[in-house]
Amino acid sequence: MKHVKEHFAVVGGGLVGSLWALMAARRGHQVDIYERRDDPRKGSALGGRSINLALSDRGWRALEKAGMLDKVREIAMPIQGRLMHAVDGHTTFQRYGQEGQPGVLGDGQCIYSVSRAGLNRMLIEAAEGHEGVQVHFGHKCADVDLRRQDAVGLTFEHGGEPVNVEADRVFGTDGAFSAVRDRMMRTDRFDYEQKYLAHGYKEIEMKANADGSFKMREDALHIWPRGNFMLMALPNPNGTFTCTLFAPFEGHDESFENWGDDAAVTALFQRQFPDVLPLLPNLLDDWNDHPTSSLVMVRCEPWHRGERVCLMGDAAHAIVPFYGQGMNSGMEDCTVLDDLLDSEPDWGTVMSEYTRLRKPAGDAILELALRNYVEMRDLTGDPRFLLQKKIEARLQQRYPDEWLPLYSQVTFSHTPYHEALAAGAAQDAIMHEVMDRPDIEAVWDSEEVAEAAMAKLRALHHA
Amino acid sequence: MKHVKEHFAVVGGGLVGSLWALMAARRGHQVDIYERRDDPRKGSALGGRSINLALSDRGWRALEKAGMLDKVREIAMPIQGRLMHAVDGHTTFQRYGQEGQPGVLGDGQCIYSVSRAGLNRMLIEAAEGHEGVQVHFGHKCADVDLRRQDAVGLTFEHGGEPVNVEADRVFGTDGAFSAVRDRMMRTDRFDYEQKYLAHGYKEIEMKANADGSFKMREDALHIWPRGNFMLMALPNPNGTFTCTLFAPFEGHDESFENWGDDAAVTALFQRQFPDVLPLLPNLLDDWNDHPTSSLVMVRCEPWHRGERVCLMGDAAHAIVPFYGQGMNSGMEDCTVLDDLLDSEPDWGTVMSEYTRLRKPAGDAILELALRNYVEMRDLTGDPRFLLQKKIEARLQQRYPDEWLPLYSQVTFSHTPYHEALAAGAAQDAIMHEVMDRPDIEAVWDSEEVAEAAMAKLRALHHA
């Protein structure tokens, strides 16, 4: 579909902003990216956000659309499943994907750990290297004038001076505390919610061995599920792990307010994570150097204003990190918007379709990510839950076209998140019935159990 | 309880701000009110908000605490109940209060219509006339510096120039689009939600007769309940009624998007409100002159920051107008904060207690007001609902210490809103059982029905 070549302003040069700028430039538009922070190549890494991220199929599809798949695979590290650590040091491995499936990069069906800073730099450089793209660092969005019909006026603050810009379209990719959304919030009938989790997190680095090798199995996301809190660790390509402790800020025996000094922190790790304590000689230094950070969720509606402005990524739908879908869902926003531009000539329709398609998906992945926190910190330590996952994996193996577990739909498919959420709820109701058999531990892998589950699923689809 | 005399900044000189300034000045504090708008005495009425408001017991208690009861009664007009208008012109009157009760001003148990502008002027003048209070009009809050420990820095814009102020305590009484809350929103772990109703409203004035008398019964709030939309009318002391049509913006046959021209508006009134059409010769002029306005709800938490800043009234809890409690709940914030200052010497405790006591009340009245829209526009036209109300009124009459209907608890008591909401839910469950008797229309006023309802209520209280 042909659109007139226009001038786009992309506010925010993070992962979603730089990826979208690249996609837009490939369509022939003139694109300016305005990024609040300074050029990361002239100093340290971009921002103070988490160090590594999980990239899965939705992200890969968007990267492929932008011609970036091969470059990004060079910095992506395959993670095959979760490794759960019990207090006594016993571990259980649970594969993410289906065995025998090649997966998006041929490493089997898995997710990938990537460095946020490394990926961001790669995308910014690709955008900057593309014809028609210019990147402006150190430009803080100070105002967006939404009143004009023929264009959007933007004011940035750069080196203490105002910079005025005019654009045909504005894409707010400026994150959970978006300045573009802030201006939309002051317009009539714009719904907005920011909600903080009652839990916070603290990051601790697990260094590599002297020879550069990993101190733990490196193809796994490690979890120490402890009921109301958990430790997790995700490997980085340089041999380190980023360990993150998630726990309530206050109001519980095990919460940050009660881990106020070195003795309490050491006692916590001795009590709850004894197997990892010897691997973290820098525990107390990192604990005291790193902040206890909060986790915010953002919901808003609509995601666009008229035919000239829209929000993408965290600016529209900031979520908690427990499904590894924050970046992937933002990149899927780019895929969907780009697809709409392929088929729809009218910008007004493109924008309203974008909200119509993506808003329910954003609400669903917010909900799924919240639930996955409970699953990771609590259920992954529960034998009954692990048995249910084994039965579901077996159903998937035997009936791959019919039984796709929720995790697989979210992580390895392109089914809209809200459809995956609904399908998962139906499967869960079936699995509760299956698990209620008193002899389930004996017959879990029987033909009878599989047939009963599939009969219920098929009955649902015909209802 | 003694507090050191301090400098208070009250941001927003509306009903809640001016009332709170007066209460604070009566405690001996030095109070500056900063109001965005110009002095209303030098021009037209304050703001573009609704013309009249319903004042009930919670508001009166706060006014009494501030020494304003006798002055405000001079401009208050008693409203004894709802008068429902059917399409065929048939009307049904439903008393708000209990017969034989004197009510707060001796007019029987009723609510009062007051002019927003008149009441605001009265309160501002009382504050301004009190020792230690200064009112600064035309001061728009541009920034609040929340980082300092020893005071709060405020910047206002006045005549194009910045005005910097320092205060010991800041009270954000600047309404649903509060600038003070806006700054709190950018601090860590502050939850915020703004949500617009899918329905909007349009105001039409019903003029007085030539002799200045009312065109309809003046001791009633008139409602034309029509299912998904409604017209209502509240009298003003000058002989006029403010008529307000509440309806969906779009997506329904009867919605503002389908009332786009004079013919459609006239046809709407002929079809749905034929009895009122002859009383509104200025219908089309007002329709075209007045905007179709939206209705926003605001929730946030906490309502305070540290020991120096808090939000009151709409800034903390903007609600829809259908329970007539918007102003009353804001005035109750003043009562509760003033009571806390009577008993608690420590400001940190005062502020956190204020959030702890008022936040659940704010959530509850938001919910109650939303539900009352459904009741007013839909149920008040339902014979079964009216019968239920008659039974409840009878129970209240016979067992006044035990059965206080939800409406009475909200309007004529000082029970915290969340406790009223819970008590109302219990009563509603009982009434559903009572109404399920197949012979209820024949036996509604029998001893047996009353005894059965009371037995259920007493069983609940003993459970």
Global ipTM = 0.92
B 193-212 → A contacts, CB under 8 A: 193-196
- Euclidean distance between CA atoms B153 and B170, whole angstroms: 9
Confidence label for A99 from pLDDT (cuts 50, 70 and 90): confident
> What are A346's two structure tokens?
């009218």
H-only helix segments in A131-254: 179-184
> B198: part of which helix (H) or strand (E)?
none
Alpha-carbon distances, residue B220 vs B77, B377, B412 (angstroms):
10, 16, 17
B-chain residues within 8 Å CB-CB of A189? Answer: 196, 249, 294
The predicted pLDDT at position B378 comes to: 85
The predicted pLDDT at position A100 comes to: 78
The predicted pLDDT at position A288 comes to: 97
- Euclidean distance between CA atoms B415 and B404, whole angstroms: 11
pLDDT in tens, B127-177: 999 999 999 999 999 999 999 999 999 999 999 999 999 999 999 999 999
Contact call for residues B376 and B230 (beta carbons, < 8 A)? yes
B-chain residues within 8 Å CB-CB of A178? Answer: none
Q: Convert A130-157 to b/e letters by CB count within 10 Å (16 or more is b).
A: bebbebbbebbbeebebeeeebbebebe
Backbone angle region of A182, left / alpha / beta, with phi > 0 → left and psi within -120 to 50 → alpha: alpha
Query: How are beta strands B309-311 and B169-172 bridged, if at all?
Result: parallel
- Euclidean distance between CA atoms B176 and B330, whole angstroms: 12
pLDDT in tens, B34-51: 999 998 777 654 444 567
Architecture of the structural domain at B7-75+115-195+296-372: 3-Layer(bba) Sandwich (3.50)
pLDDT in tens, A370-407: 999 998 888 776 888 889 988 998 999 899 889 999 99
Instruction: Measure in Å the smallest separation between the Cα of B378 and chain A Cα atoms.
Output: 24
Q: What is the domain partition of chain B in residue ranges?
A: 7-75+115-195+296-372, 78-113+198-294, 382-462
The predicted pLDDT at position A35 comes to: 98
Inter-chain contact B196–A191, Cβ cutoff 8 Å?
yes
Choose, out of A143, A183, A194, the residue to mutate when testing the contact with B (most B CBs < 10 Å). A194
Instruction: Measure in Å the smallest separation between the Cα of B302 and chain A Cα atoms.
Output: 12
Inter-chain contact A294–B190, Cβ cutoff 8 Å?
no
Please provide the distance, in angstroms rounded to a whole number, between the alpha carbons at the two ends of chain A: 39
CB atoms within 10 A of CB A435: 16
Burial of B385 (0-12, 13-18, 19+ CB in 10 A): middle
- Euclidean distance between CA atoms A108 and B233, whole angstroms: 68
Contact call for residues B235 and B81 (beta carbons, < 8 A)? no
At B313, the amino acid letter reads G
Residue A46, pLDDT > 50, answer no
* Average pLDDT taken over every residue of chain A: 94
Inter-chain contact A185–B192, Cβ cutoff 8 Å?
no
- Euclidean distance between CA atoms B128 and B126, whole angstroms: 6
Q: Is B189 on the interface with A (CB under 8 A)?
A: yes
B69-B70-B75-B80 Cα dihedral, nearest 10 degrees: 70
> A310: part of which helix (H) or strand (E)?
strand A309-311
Inter-chain contact B192–A194, Cβ cutoff 8 Å?
yes
The predicted pLDDT at position B50 comes to: 64
- Euclidean distance between CA atoms B128 and B131, whole angstroms: 8
Please provide the distance, in angstroms rounded to a whole number, between the alpha carbons at the two ends of chain B: 39
The predicted pLDDT at position B46 comes to: 42
Of the listed ranges A193-197, A235-239, A319-323, A376-380, the one predicted with least confidence: A376-380
Residue A49, pLDDT > 80, answer no
Of the listed ranges A349-358, A413-422, B242-251, B369-378, the one predicted with least confidence: B369-378
Three-state secondary structure call for residue A194: strand
- Euclidean distance between CA atoms A199 and A159, whole angstroms: 37
The predicted pLDDT at position B41 comes to: 76
Non-local (6+) Cβ contacts of B80 within 8 A are B95, B96, B97, B107, B108, B110, B219, B220
The predicted pLDDT at position A48 comes to: 42
B 421-450 → A contacts, CB under 8 A: none
Among A176, A224, A425, CA closest to A320:
A176
The mean pLDDT of A311-335, rounded to a whole number, is 98
Choose, out of A191, A250, A366, the residue to mutate when testing the contact with B (most B CBs < 10 Å). A191
Among B45, B44, B18, CA closest to B134:
B18
Query: How are beta strands B152-158 and B140-145 bridged, if at all?
Result: antiparallel
> What are A17's two structure tokens?
């902003």
The predicted pLDDT at position B202 comes to: 96
Residues of chain B predicted below pLDDT 50: 45-48
Choose, out of A187, A193, A295, A301, the residue to mutate when testing the contact with B (most B CBs < 10 Å). A193
Residue B170 main-chain phi, psi, to 5 deg: -125, 130
Residue A134 main-chain phi, psi, to 5 deg: -130, 140
Model's pTM, two decimal places?
0.94
Instruction: Measure in Å the smallest separation between the Cα of B175 and chain A Cα atoms.
Output: 14
Residue A342 main-chain phi, psi, to 5 deg: -65, -35
In A, minimum Cα distance to B295 occurs at A189
The mean pLDDT of A67-91, rounded to a whole number, is 95
**CATH match for B78-113+198-294 among 3.50.50.60, 2.60.40.10, 1.20.150.20, 3.20.20.70:** 3.50.50.60
Check for a shared fold between A7-75+115-195+296-372 and A78-113+198-294: yes
CB atoms within 10 A of CB B37: 17
